[in-house]
Amino acid sequence: MDGTPLGSGPPGDGSQFTAALSLRRGWVDLLLTQGTSRCLISATTIGMGDAVKELAASLVAIATERIDACCAWPGEPHGAYIDLARRPKDLVAVAVQETVELGAPTLNENVAEWLRGRTSEERRAAHESSWLPLRGTLLFGARLPTKVLLTAFWSGLVLSRSALTQGTYESLWGHPFPEALVEQLADLL
């Protein structure tokens, strides 16, 4: 996961903003770029939900004039949150922030617990009981015209889908492509 924050300057026309998705077995990468700034985040399916579907649902929410939406992009060792907010109506701010895993066990702590006989389920339950959805470092931020942002994400979703057959997409990612949400987003553009 890497990123170059853009800050919160005035919005440009957004013509240089792109969102690209690529899949590899059990992982999906999202690359956001605007001008010389870029942010690459990776989500995993290991014990997590469908980040691509969550992203598509968040985009549909913004397209239907919801004020804000968020989706988790779970990764290892840290994931990210993608926050979208309309302020004012014709602009959308996107902020990608690293998740903060307070109390997450280190590799050495996991090995020590394993040697003591604690199962992975017990370790996971102990960690999850103290987990909070905290945001950390800003990895990427931009304010763009709503149509520019939504079109860039829609294009990234469509290109990722068209590069693979449905069976290939699902075998790599572990979830079906969110076809209905992407079609709904297209209708709202």
Burial of 178 (0-12, 13-18, 19+ CB in 10 A): buried
Q: What digits encode the pLDDT tens for the residues 53-105? A: 999 999 999 999 889 999 989 887 678 999 999 988 789 999 999 887 655 55
pLDDT for residue 167 is more than 90: no
Out of 47-51, 143-147, 184-188, pick the least confident.
47-51
Confidence at 125, pLDDT banded by 50, 70, 90: low
More confident residue, 106 or 115: 115
Whole-structure pTM value:
0.78
Domains contained in the chain, number:
1
CA distances from 59 to 83, 130, 172 (A): 10, 30, 23
In a domain, 62, yes or no: yes
Q: What digits encode the pLDDT tens for the residues 5-62? A: 333 333 445 558 999 999 888 899 999 999 888 999 999 887 678 999 999 999 999 9
In the DSSP assignment, the letter for residue 184 is H
* pLDDT value of residue 21: 92
More confident residue, 140 or 49: 140
CATH code at position 88: 3.30.2450
In a domain, 105, yes or no: yes
In a domain, 170, yes or no: yes
In a domain, 189, yes or no: no
In a domain, 77, yes or no: yes
pLDDT for residue 108 is more than 70: no
Question: Using CA atoms, how far apart are residues 49 and 178, in angstroms rounded to an integer?
Answer: 13
In a domain, 52, yes or no: yes
In a domain, 126, yes or no: yes
For residue 47, the enclosing domain spans 2-175
Closest to 19 in 3D by CA, of 94, 110, 117: 94
In a domain, 184, yes or no: no
